[in-house]
Each structure stands twice: as C-alpha cells, then as structure tokens.
Structure 1
Amino acid sequence: MANTGKSGRPLSPHLQIYRRTLTMMMSIMHRATGIALYAGTLLLVWWLTAAATSDAYFDMVQGVFGSWIGQIVLFGFTWALVHHAAGGIRHLIWDTGRGFDLVSVEASARIALASSIIITIALWAFAYGVM
C-alpha cells in the first residue's frame, strides 16, 4: 500500500512517529494488566481446585506458589491487580467529567503509577509481617 491516499495526503502515522508519553504507556499497561489478571484468575482457580481435591495436591500447589518464581509471579499478579484498580479509579474520575486538562491527566497518571507500586509493596510487607 502506498504512503498516501487517493487525495495525496499522508495516511495515519506509524508508531515510529508518535512520541512515547507516560499517559500512552499507562494506557498500554492498563490493557496489559487486564490480560495479566485474566491469567492470574487461572492461578486462583488452580489453587482453589487443589484445595478441593486433596491435601497432597494442595501442598504441591502451595509449594509452587511458595517457590521464588511463584512468589515473583504472585507479586506481579498483586501489582497488576492494584495497578489495574488504580487505572480504573482514574477512569471513574474521568467519567464524572473531571481531570481532562493536560496537567491533571499527567498528575493522575503519576499518582496511579506511584500508588500501585507503594500499595503493592505495603501489602506484601504486611503479609510477610503477619506470617
């Protein structure tokens, strides 16, 4: 396909043209965390199925989740959950008609990103403190 339409005007720019911004990356991450939550739900189903099946199978699944790679996956799942929720709150605020100016959009992106990291670390610190 040619780079221009019938009128001679250029077609839509390619991704190489766009400047990467925080809000663009947050939009992509919101979609990616949604996909990760879908996969994480399968882990939850696996864990619940193991709990309903037998003690030996549940112990095996607990061993997988308790391993260092399992802990990393669970930490990532926790962050995806918190980050997706923060993005959802951000969108909920936009649904009220507020926060559309560029300064507010940039600030809400920074707040959502920082809060997702801080809340995830706090949740895991609390969980390890309780254990």
Structure 2
Amino acid sequence: MSVANRPVHRPLSPHLQVYKPQLTSMLSILHRATGMALSVGALYLVVWVVFASASPRTYAMFQSFNVSILGRIFLGGWLFCAFYHLCNGIRHLFWDMGYGFELKDAYRSGWIVVAVSLAATIVSWIVGLRLA
C-alpha cells in the first residue's frame, strides 16, 4: 500500500449528540438562526415594496397575507428575531470588551437577552396594534 492510500488515524471530535445542550450553546445557535431569519425577512420587505409599487390591487393582496394569522405569526417571529439579534449582539459587544465571561454572568446575560427580546416584541406588537 502506498503512503498516499494509507488510512490516516486521527482523533475524532465528539458529535453534537455527545454534548449536553447548554443555555450558551443554544443562544449561540439561536443567534445564527435569527441572523438567517432576518435575511429572509429582508427579502420579504423587498417583495412588500415591489408589490406596493406594482399596483393597489397587488399591494392589497400582499397586505391580506400580512393581516392573516400566518402573516402575523411570520411578522411577529421576524420582529422577535430582530430584537433578539440586537440584544445578543450587544451582549457580544460586552464580551468583546472582556466583560461577562464568568459562567454565572454568561447565564444571567443570556436570560436577560431572552427576556428583553420577548418583552420588546410584546410591547412593540401591542403598541403597533393600538396605532393601527
């Protein structure tokens, strides 16, 4: 057997199934997911503008989706993604400055990010409904 065809025995990294999910890892995954969702939401805004510029009829059709249950769930989820991504980004800025690395601080700031994101989503949704 030549050197090029010989199997290489390297240590294998444990798979994700080996690790116990922790708040910090879940929030990291959620941060990436909300970033992707914000990208999809940006495309949704582009479609919204295109429909609005096309004609009143096409805008009304698009708007009818926005006020449906599914549309409100989509927009509410997108709003949560925006608040979560913003709050967690601020948390990361503190980490970049060297603050909050202790385990208790990381957990506390993680729960604060989740709570503030949920509260901001609910408050802005209520305010938006009252203004509409």
Tell me the amino acid that sits aligned with residue 53 of structure 1: A
* 2-structure distance, mates of 1:129, 1:52: 27
- Any gaps of 5 or more consecutive residues in structure 2? 1-7
For residue 35 of structure 1, report the CA deviation from its aligned partner.
0.6
Tell me the amino acid that sits aligned with residue 68 of structure 1: I
In the superposition, the TM-score normalised over structure 1's length comes to 0.90
For residue 52 of structure 1, report the CA deviation from its aligned partner.
1.3
Can you list the C-alpha shifts for 1:40-67, whole angstroms capped at 9, x where unaligned?
1111001111111111111111111111
- What is the aligned length? 125
Task: Determine whether 1:20 maps to 2:11.
Answer: no
* Correspondence for 1:81: 82
* 1-structure distance, mates of 2:84, 2:63: 25
Runs (4+) of structure 1 moved beyond 3 Å?
A: none
3-state SS in 2 of match to 1:99 = coil
In the superposition, the TM-score normalised over structure 2's length comes to 0.89
* 2-structure distance, mates of 1:15, 1:52: 47
Q: Percent identity?
A: 42
1:22-41 correspondence runs (5 A): 22-41=23-42
* 2-structure distance, mates of 1:54, 1:92: 43
Task: Determine whether 1:118 maps to 2:119.
Answer: yes
* 1-structure distance, mates of 2:126, 2:31: 24
1:1-131 correspondence runs (5 A): 6=9, 10-131=11-132
* 2-structure distance, mates of 1:16, 1:53: 49
* 2-structure distance, mates of 1:130, 1:14: 49
Can you list the C-alpha shifts for 1:61-80, whole angstroms capped at 9, x where unaligned?
11111111101100010011
Question: Larger Cα Rg: Structure 1 or Structure 2?
Answer: 2
